[in-house]
Amino acid sequence: MTDKRRTLTIAPKPAGAKPARPGGNPAAQYARPKPAAKVEKKPAAKPAPARPAEPVRPSHEVKPQFQQAFRPDLPSDSLALALLGAASAVAQVRAGSALPPALSNVFASFGATPQGRGAIQDLAYRTMRGLGRAETLLGLMTAKAPDVPMLLGMLHCALVLLDPPPGESAPYEPFTVVDQAVTAAARHPDLAHAKAMVNAVLRRFLRERDALVASALAQPLARWNYPQWWIEAMRAAYPRDWEAILAAGNGQPPLTLRVNTRKTGVEQYLHLLEQAGMAADVVGPHALRLKQAANVGQIPGFHEGLVSVQDAGAQLAAPLLGLQDGMRVLDACAAPGGKSGHILEMADVDLTAVDADAQRLARVGDNLGRLGLSATLVAACAQATDWWDGRPFDRILADVPCTASGIVRRHPDIRWLRRKTDSRQLTTLSGEILDNLWQMLSADGKLLFVTCSLWPQESEAQAAAFAARHMDAIRLDAPGQLLPSSGAGLDHDGLFYALFQKRAA
């Protein structure tokens, strides 16, 4: 099967121009002809040393400009448009963007309707979860992966639809997927040349599905849908649990709510949900897992601040701090403010919320506003002191930046974006943050170190190294490494908690 590459048309040469000679300057053939002018004779200059001949760059070597934002004239609720939107988002992730901003770009450039957004988002997230398997299948059917990002994204998205994960039914009939993928390809400038290839690959997959899937599953990339280095690192870190951890990261995340006990109670809110026809399980002291996902607009009392969306594992942070009214509390990496809100719901404290990202920090203000709570917001780096007034804090929450390897079920793009070396850089930064914050803690005060990482170097090893550096740090009881789990009465992401108290002088 051949993937015919597009060639660029070369601008016509000006009439009368000499044919370009091999070895001439390729740019010269496009230069505007100089007006005829009197030429002043200069004394004869030394002949320039002969330059090595530069070959003319053939047109097929010129990288085409891809049009990932092109919106063809297709019905806004068609699967063809959803395939193109998702393919564009997937292509952006492969180029290094996180999925949420990639989707925002697609929605804006496509002028997507709410229904269209839902379809594009669903397909893009599915593809992130099944990318390793789709990539492996495509590799089995083509000699070389297509180098047009939209084409690659389109084939991955279509294969994910034709090949749902075990136990899940296919969301569309196979012939619909093939028909819509070919229609989409025909209407897009990056794909039109490969319309026949899209058709051939997808039909071949349908014909040879069993053999292709069996062959693909022999490869860890397809079996687990994570990069090879990630699989190996997880296996090394968790020799007993690595398979369950990888599988958990491929599951659908639940929608878990935190009940705002300043405004209502768990039983009372469960009743409100019931009245709205929504069933939920209790998965923590204030945590309710909805049985069916919903938009926040559909959640009773959300806009009035009765509840927030927060994973049950993340809901452990505020209670671990042992808060009391009147305390001075620092949330050092606060945005978007999930844990800040919980802290303020639990006690009347004077909260300072710091985050290095001013845009994300604004979301802390929005979230607290919805809950009817407030804090002092500071856009600053937690490893610096220039923002600190020198007054010690009674409690510090350090929910440090990390690789987020524990929340891949919510952010399935993370595994494809991270590099093996990211962890080392983030560990250095979080070590600096912890050391800096320690001096801001009062004697007897408590610092809670949190990550949403599963890599031990970011979590337990960091906590142990911190304790070794600070002889005045007493390590108190805390959950340590929580592996992602879901089940009856239990459902949380992978998080790490270490709690330290400063020895009184």
Ligand X SMILES: C[S@@+](CC[C@H](N)C(=O)[O-])C[C@H]1O[C@@H](n2cnc3c(N)ncnc32)[C@H](O)[C@@H]1O
DSSP letters spanning 339-360? HHHHHHHHS--EEEEEES-HHH
- Residue 4 assigned ligand-binding role: no
Please tell me whether residue 162 binds ligand X under the rule CB under 6 A.
no
Contact with ligand X (CB under 6 A): which of 311, 345, 355, 394? 355
Tokens of 391: 């007054």
DSSP letters spanning 102-158? HHHHHHHHHT--HHHHHHHHHHHHHHHHHHHHHHHHHHHH-SS--SSHHHHHHHHHH
Q: Residue 336 has what DSSP assignment?
A: T
Please tell me whether residue 146 binds ligand X under the rule CB under 6 A.
no
Report the nearest approach of ligand X to the CB of residue 45 (Å).
58
Dist. CA 337–CA 321, nearest whole Å: 16
Contact with ligand X (CB under 6 A): which of 339, 409, 415, 492? 339
Please tell me whether residue 366 binds ligand X under the rule CB under 6 A.
no
* Residue with tokens 């001075």, as numbered in its chain: 328
Dist. CA 185–CA 183, nearest whole Å: 5
Contact with ligand X (CB under 6 A): which of 68, 92, 225, 383? 383
383, 357 in Cβ contact below 8 A?
A: no
Among residues 128, 226, 140, the alpha carbon closest in space to that of 454 is found at 226
Please tell me whether residue 399 binds ligand X under the rule CB under 6 A.
yes
- Whether 402 sits among the annotated catalytic residues: the reply is no
Q: Which window, 94-102, 273-281, 327-335, 472-480, contacts ligand X (CB under 6 A)? A: 327-335
Catalytic residue among 157, 381, 402, 452: 452
- Residue 335 assigned ligand-binding role: yes
- Residue 285 assigned ligand-binding role: no
Report the nearest approach of ligand X to the CB of residue 180 (Å).
38
Side-chain half-sphere exposure of 241, counting CA atoms within 13 A:
12
Dist. CA 460–CA 404, nearest whole Å: 15
Report the nearest approach of ligand X to the CB of residue 431 (Å).
12
Please tell me whether residue 313 binds ligand X under the rule CB under 6 A.
no
Please tell me whether residue 131 binds ligand X under the rule CB under 6 A.
no
Report the nearest approach of ligand X to the CB of residue 233 (Å).
20
- Residue 167 assigned ligand-binding role: no
- Residue 355 assigned ligand-binding role: yes
Please tell me whether residue 482 binds ligand X under the rule CB under 6 A.
no
155, 147 in Cβ contact below 8 A?
A: no
Please tell me whether residue 266 binds ligand X under the rule CB under 6 A.
no
Backbone angles phi, psi at 370, to 5 degrees: -60, -35
- Residue 200 assigned ligand-binding role: no
Nearer to ligand X, 224 or 449 (CB): 449
Cβ neighbours around 228 below 10 Å, total: 12
Dist. CA 13–CA 496, nearest whole Å: 65
Please tell me whether residue 116 binds ligand X under the rule CB under 6 A.
no
Q: Which window, 88-96, 172-180, 220-228, 336-344, contacts ligand X (CB under 6 A)? A: 336-344
Which spans in 220-312 are helix H? 220-224, 228-237, 242-249, 266-275
Report the nearest approach of ligand X to the CB of residue 327 (Å).
18
- Residue 38 assigned ligand-binding role: no
Report the nearest approach of ligand X to the CB of residue 336 (Å).
5
Among residues 461, 456, 445, 453, the alpha carbon closest in space to that of 397 is found at 445
Residue 331, beta-bridge partner list: 353, 397
Please tell me whether residue 336 binds ligand X under the rule CB under 6 A.
yes
- Residue 399 assigned ligand-binding role: yes
Contact with ligand X (CB under 6 A): which of 153, 401, 412, 494? 401
Please tell me whether residue 357 binds ligand X under the rule CB under 6 A.
yes
Known catalytic residues are 452
Residues placed in the known binding site for S-adenosyl-L-methionine: 333-339, 355, 399
Binding site for ligand X (CB under 6 A): 314, 333-339, 354-357, 360, 381-383, 399, 401, 452
